[in-house]
C-alpha cells in the first residue's frame, strides 16, 4: 500500500513553456480568430486540446495556413527556411521560440560563420533539432549517441564545434561530449551549457526523490523529450520509472509492494495533471510531501507585439 508520495520540485512548466502558452492566449485576446500554430505549441496533448477548444488551428506545415493569416511558431523553434516561407506568404508571424532554444540557433550561426563543422547532440526527428540544423545544414552533423562519434567524418578535425539540444539527459550528454573531446582534442563548444536550466533542475529533483522512493511516475507526453529523460534519470537511480499522460495512466500492478512513490512532471505538463495524480493517492490514504531541490525564478518576456 502506498503510504507516501514524494512530489519533486521543481517540476512542470518551465519559463519557455509558460511564455509559449501565454503567447497563444494573448494573441487570441488581441487579434482574435483565425489563429494558426505550426506544430504543437509545446509537447503536451492536454495543452494543445485546451487551445484547440478555443478555436486555435494547429498545422504541421505552413502550406496549410492561408496567405496573409496569423501564425505562431512553436516553442521548439524553426529553421530559416520556414521563416523565409512565412515571409514570402505574407504571414503575420508571432515567434514563441524559447529564448534558450534561440540561444543555440545563435551559436550555430556563429560557428557556421567561422567555418566550423558543427556536431549537434540531439534526437533525430525532434522539432528543436530540425530547426537548429536548418541554421547550417551543410556544416552540421547530428550526433545521437556515443556510437555516432566513432563514425563521424569531418573536413577539418581541427575546426569542429559541438552544440546540444536543450532537453537532453545531463549524464548522457556529458558522456557524448567527452567522447567528442577525445576524438577531436580541439573541440569548441558553447560558452555555457545548452541544456536548459529547467531540464537540469527537474533531473536533479528526480534524482533526489528517487533516493527515497520505490517507484517514480513522470507526468508528460510520449513525444516530450525532457519528460522521457526524467524517466531515464529515475531508472538509473535503480527504481522502476514510468511515463504517464495523466492519472488514468497509472497501472495498479506498478504499485504492488510500494510504500513510497515519487512524482514529477515534464516541462510542458500542466500542474493540474500532477495534482490529479496526488489526489488519486490521497484518496487511497497516502500523504503527499514536497521535496525541493532548487528554487526557480526565471521568467521570459512576451514578444513586443503582445506586450
Could you list the active site residues?
A: 128
Distance CA 129, CA 43 (A): 14
Segments of 197-265 assigned E as strands: 215-219, 241-244, 260-265
H-assigned helices in 9-145: 15-31, 45-53, 80-88, 99-113, 127-133
Helix pair angle (45-53, 15-31), 10° resolution: 10
Distance CA 142, CA 123 (A): 8
Distance CA 134, CA 113 (A): 14
Q: For residue 253, how far is the Cα from the chain centroid?
A: 30
Amino acid at each position: 500500500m502506498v503510504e507516501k508520495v514524494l512530489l519533486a520540485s521543481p517540476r512542470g512548466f518551465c519559463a519557455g513553456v509558460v511564455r509559449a502558452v501565454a503567447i497563444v492566449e494573448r494573441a487570441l485576446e488581441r487579434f482574435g480568430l483565425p489563429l494558426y500554430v505550426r506544430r504543437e505549441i509545446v509537447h503536451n496533448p492536454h495543452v494543445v486540446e485546451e487551445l484547440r477548444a478555443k478555436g486555435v488551428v494547429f498545422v504541421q506545415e505552413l502550406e496549410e495556413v492561408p496567405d496573409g493569416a496569423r501564425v505562431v511558431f512553436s516553442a521548439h523553434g524553426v529553421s530559416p527556411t520556414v521563416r523565409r516561407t512565412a515571409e514570402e506568404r505574407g504571414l503575420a508571424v508571432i515567434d514563441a521560440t524559447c529564448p534558450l532554444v534561440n540561444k543555440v540557433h545563435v551559436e550555430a550561426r556563429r560557428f557556421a560563420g567561422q567555418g566550423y563543422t558543427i556536431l549537434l547532440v540531439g534526437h533525430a526527428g525532434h522539432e528543436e533539432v530540425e530547426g537548429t540544423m536548418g541554421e547550417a545544414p551543410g556544416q552540421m552533423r547530428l550526433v545521437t549517441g556515443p556510437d555516432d562519434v566513432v563514425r563521424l567524418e569531418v573536413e577539418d578535425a581541427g575546426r569542429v564545434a559541438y552544440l546540444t539540444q536543450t532537453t537532453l539527459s545531463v549524464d548522457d550528454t556529458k558522456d557524448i561530449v567527452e567522447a567528442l573531446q577525445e576524438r577531436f582534442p580541439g573541440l569548441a563548444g558553447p560558452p555555457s551549457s545548452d541544456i536548459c536550466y529547467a531540464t537540469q533542475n527537474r533531473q536533479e529533483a528526480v534524482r533526489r526523490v528517487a533516493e527515497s522512493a520505490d517507484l517514480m511516475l513522470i507526468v508528460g507526453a510520449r513525444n516530450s523529450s525532457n519528460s522521457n529523460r526524467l524517466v531515464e534519470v529515475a531508472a538509473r537511480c535503480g527504481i522502476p520509472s514510468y511515463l504517464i499522460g495523466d492519472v488514468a495512466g497509472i497501472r495498479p500492478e506498478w504499485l504492488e509492494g510500494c510504500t513510497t512513490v515519487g512524482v514529477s512532471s515534464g516541462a510542458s505538463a500542466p500542474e493540474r495533471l500532477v495534482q490529479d495524480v496526488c489526489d488519486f493517492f490521497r484518496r487511497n490514504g497516502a500523504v503527499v510531501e514536497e521535496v525541493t531541490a532548487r528554487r526557480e525564478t526565471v521568467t521570459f518576456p512576451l514578444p513586443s507585439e503582445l506586450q
